[in-house]
Amino acid sequence: MSILEVKNLSAGYGKRLILEDISFEVNDGEICGIIGLNGSGKTTLIKGITNIIPHSGNAFIDGQDASLLSSNILASLCGFIPQKSGISIDLPVLDVVLMGFNPKLKLLQNPNSYMISKARAMIKTVGLEGRENDNFQKLSEGQKQLVLLARALASDSKILLMDELESYLDFKVRYKTMNLIKNLVKTNNMGALLSMHDINLALNTCDKLILIKDKKIADTIYPKTDLVADIEHKLSSIYGEVSVHKIKTDANHEQMVMLNRPEE
Amino acid sequence: MRPSTALASKHNSLLFVVFGALLCALFILSLFIGKYPLTIEGLISGSELQWRVFTTLRLSRVVVGLAGGFALGIAGFIFQTVFRNPLASPDIIGVSSGASAGAAAGILFFSSSIMVTLCAFGGALIAIVLAIAFSVIDRGGHKSTVVLAGIAVHAIAQTVLMCLKLVADPEKELASIEYWIMGSLNGINSHIIGSNLILCVVGLILLIMLHRQSILLSSSGDEAKMLGVDVTSMRLILLGLSTLVVSSIVSMTGLISFVGLLAPHCAKKLTGNNSVSTMILGGLIGSCILILADILARSVAATELPVSIFTSAIGAPFLVLLIFQGRKDT
C-alpha cells in the first residue's frame, strides 16, 4: 500500500521553478532515496511534500492530501529530519527527543512518563544511551542528527522524511543508522524518503532511487532488481562517466559501488 | 531517576531556595526603607499612620517591584527564546519604549489607570510589530540586528513622546509624563495596582503554562511546523502575552531597563538549560534585581533616583559582553 503518493508536484522559490511535474510513490516498508546533483531540488522536493514551500500538484500521505492537513496532523504523519537543526538554545538531549511527541499533546499538556521512557528508549536505539542530559548544542553535528532521528522515531509517524541525514555521519555510523532505519521501516510498515549524496550508501540500503535532473525525475533505479549495466547507465546520466560494480564482501554479501572514471 | 537528573534537580532546588530566601530578605528590607521611617515596634503597637503608610504605599510598592521584576524576567526569557536571539528583551527591542509612549498618550488623553495600561499595551504592540518588521529587513540574520531594530523603534517612540510632551499641560500632565519616563516605583499605591496586577499575574501564569510551546519555537520555523506547531499563531500568542505583562508593569512604573535581559541570562547560566524551572528562576532573579535597585534608588541619595540608573549600571556592560560573545560564536 502506498504511504506517500506525489502527483504532478511542481515547486520552487518565488518565480524560480526548481521542480516540475514530479510524480512517484513510496510504499509501506519501502525506503526511497532521492539523488541528484547539488541544487537539483532534493531538499525542495521534501519541502514541497511537507507544505513548507508553496507548490502545485499534490502529495498524499497515508491517503490524505498534505496541503489540506493542519500542521499538527501533518506532523503526526511525518517524522521530519532537517539537514541541520535550527535549535538555538541549550536543551538536554531528552527534551529535544520529547519535542517529537508534540502532535500527540494538547496545547498546555506536558509529556507523560510513558513518553519520557519511550524517548529514552529511542535515544538508546540510535546509540546515544547515557547522553540524555547532555546539552544538545555541545554535541557533534553527527550526534545531533542521531538525536533528530530519535525525535522522528518517537512520534510513531507513517513516513520518515530525511534531508541528507548521512552528511554529518561517519562511515561506520552511516551504515549502522541506515540499517536501523531499514529495520524500523520494515517492522513498523512505515515508509522513508531520504535525500542523499552518498550513492554507494543509497545503492546498498534503499529499495528505490529517484534520480532528479533538470527539474524532473530523470529515472528510477531499483538496486535489488535492476541490472548493473542499467544502473550504471542511469547514474551516468546524472554524474557523468561513472562505473558501477557488484562486489562480494568477506561474509559473501554482495554490495554495489559506484566509481568515478578518471578523465583522460 | 538517573543520578545526573537527580543531581540537576537537587541543584535547581538549591538555586530556588537561595534566590527565594534572598527575595524574602529583600522584600522585608524594602518594606522598612523610605522617607517615612517604619519600625516593627510601631506596627506592632498599632500606630495608625505607620499602618497606613505600610498598607497603602510601602507594601504596594514592594509587591509591584516583585511582580514587575518577575514579569520582566519571564518576558525576557520568552523574547530570547521566540526571537531565537540572546540579545532580545522587552527594553532592547523597544517594547518598553513603545509602552512608555503609549502610556504617555494615555495620561494625556484619558485619566483612568486602566486606559493608561491599555494605551501602554497598544504602544508596546506597535513597537513589537515594528521591531519584527525591521529585523526581517536584514536577511543575514545577525544577532545584533534585533538591537539595531530596537534602537530604531526606541527613536520612533521617543519622537512620539516628544510630540506628546509638547501638547501636554506643563502643570499636570507634563510632570506626570516626565516622572513616568524616568522609571520609578515611587508613586505606586494600593489604589492603582489592582487591575494591572491581575492582568500581569494572569499573563504570567499563561506564559509559564506555554513554556513547552516557546521551546518548540526555539527551532527554525520549518522544523517547528513539522513538529506540529502553528508557528505564526503561537509566536503572536507568546509575544502578545509577554507584551501584555510588560505593559501592565511599565504603565505603573515607567521605563525599567535591562532587567528583562539580565535575569533570564543569569538563570540560564546557573542551571545550564532552558527548562520551565529556569524560566521561573529568571523571574525570581528579576524580582531580586528590581527590588534591590528600588532599595538603592531610595537610599543612596537625599532625593529618590530612577531605578533604571542601577539596573543599567549592571545591564549595559552585560549587553556589550553578549554582543562580543555573539561575534565570537559566528
pTM of the model: 0.89
pLDDT of the residue at A24: 97
Scan residues 257-276 of B and list those with Cβ closer than 8 Å to A.
268, 272-275
| Res A101 pLDDT > 50 | yes
Confidence of residue B42 (pLDDT cuts 50, 70, 90): confident
Q: In chain B, what are the domain boundaries?
A: 10-329
pLDDT class for B317, splitting at 50, 70, 90?
Answer: confident
Pairwise CA distance, residues A45 & A25, whole Å: 13
Q: For residues A82 and B134, which has the higher predicted lDDT (pLDDT)?
A: A82
Residue A235 has pLDDT above 90, yes or no: yes
Of chain B, the end-to-end C-alpha distance in Å amounts to 37
**Burial letters B144-183, b for 16+ CB under 10 A, else e:** ebbbebbebbbebbeebbeebbeebeeeebbebbeebbbb
Does B108 or B147 have the greater pLDDT score?
B108
Whole-number pLDDT of residue B291: 96
Q: What tens digit of pLDDT does each residue of A118-142 get?
A: 999 999 999 999 999 999 999 998 8
Portion of chain A with pLDDT greater than 70, in percent: 99
Average pLDDT over residues B39-58: 87
Q: Are A63 and A73 in contact (CB under 8 A)?
A: no
What pLDDT shows up at residue B138? 65
On the question of pLDDT at A159 being above 70, the answer is: yes
Residue B3 pLDDT: 44
Chain B nearest CA to A122, separation (Å): 16
Which phi and psi (to 5°) does residue A123 adopt? -65, -40
Lowest mean pLDDT among A10-19, B30-39, B231-240: B30-39
φ, ψ of residue B290 in degrees (nearest 5) = -70, -40
Nearest CA in chain A to B9: A133
Q: Which residue in B has a C-alpha nearest to residue A49's C-alpha? A: B226
Of B81, B228, B268, which is closest to A103 when you measure between CB atoms?
B228
pLDDT of residue B330: 47
Q: Is B329 on the interface with A (CB under 8 A)?
A: no
CB A246 within 8 A of CB A254: yes
Q: Is the pLDDT of residue B1 over 70?
A: no
Pairing of strands A2-13, A242-248: unpaired
ipTM of the predicted structure? Answer: 0.89
Residue A194 has pLDDT above 80, yes or no: yes
Give, to the nearest 10 degrees, the angle between helix B190-209 and helix B59-82. Answer: 30
pLDDT in tens, B270-286: 998 999 999 999 999 99
Report the alpha-carbon distance of residue A31 to residue B177 in Å, rounded.
Answer: 67
pLDDT of residue B64: 94
Compute the average pLDDT of residues B87-106: 87
pLDDT of residue A263: 64
Instruction: Using pLDDT thresholds of 50, 70 and 90, give the confidence band for residue B139.
Output: low
Q: How far apart are the first and last CA of chain A?
A: 48
Q: Which of A52, A99, A135 sits opposite B216 (nearest CB)?
A: A99
Q: Which three cell numbers stand for residue A71?
A: 500542521
Contact A257, A204 (CB under 8 A): no
Read off the amino acid at residue B206. Answer: L
pLDDT per residue as tens digits for the range A170-193:
888 898 899 999 998 998 899 999
B51-60, B110-119, B159-168: which range is least confident on average?
B110-119
Query: How does strand A30-35 pair with strand A208-213?
Result: parallel
Note whether B223 contacts A132, CB cutoff 8 Å.
no
Give which of B318, B329, B324, B294 is closest to B308, Cα–Cα: B294
Q: Please indicate if any CB of chain A lies within 8 Å of the CB of B326.
A: no
Answer yes or no: is pLDDT of B72 > 50.
yes
pLDDT of the residue at A110: 93
Average pLDDT, chain B: 87
Task: State the alpha helices, DSSP H only, in chain A.
Answer: 42-49, 71-77, 93-98, 113-125, 141-154, 171-187, 199-205, 228-239
Touching check for A102 and chain B: CB below 8 Å?
yes
Question: pLDDT: is A76 or B220 the higher one?
Answer: A76
Please report where in the chains the cell 518577575 appears, as a residue: B70
- Taking Cα atoms as reference points, which of A235, A181, A230 lies closest to residue A213? A235
CATH pick for A2-227 out of 3.40.50.2300, 2.40.50.140, 3.40.50.300, 1.10.600.10: 3.40.50.300
CB-based contact B222 A86, cutoff 8 Å: yes
Which of these, B289, B271, B290, lies nearest to B281 by C-alpha position?
B271
Residues in A touching B218 (Cβ below 8 Å): 87-89, 91
Asked if the model's pLDDT at residue B222 lies above 70, the reply is: yes
- Beta carbons of B226 and A50 less than 8 Å apart: yes
Decide which of 1.20.1600.10, 1.10.357.10, 1.10.3470.10, 3.40.50.150 is the CATH code for B10-329: 1.10.3470.10
Distance from the Cα of B253 to chain A's closest Cα (Å) equals 31
CA dist A244 and A224 (Å) reads: 14
Q: Determine which of A107, A109, A110 to mutate to test the interface with B (most B C-beta atoms within 10 Å).
A: A107
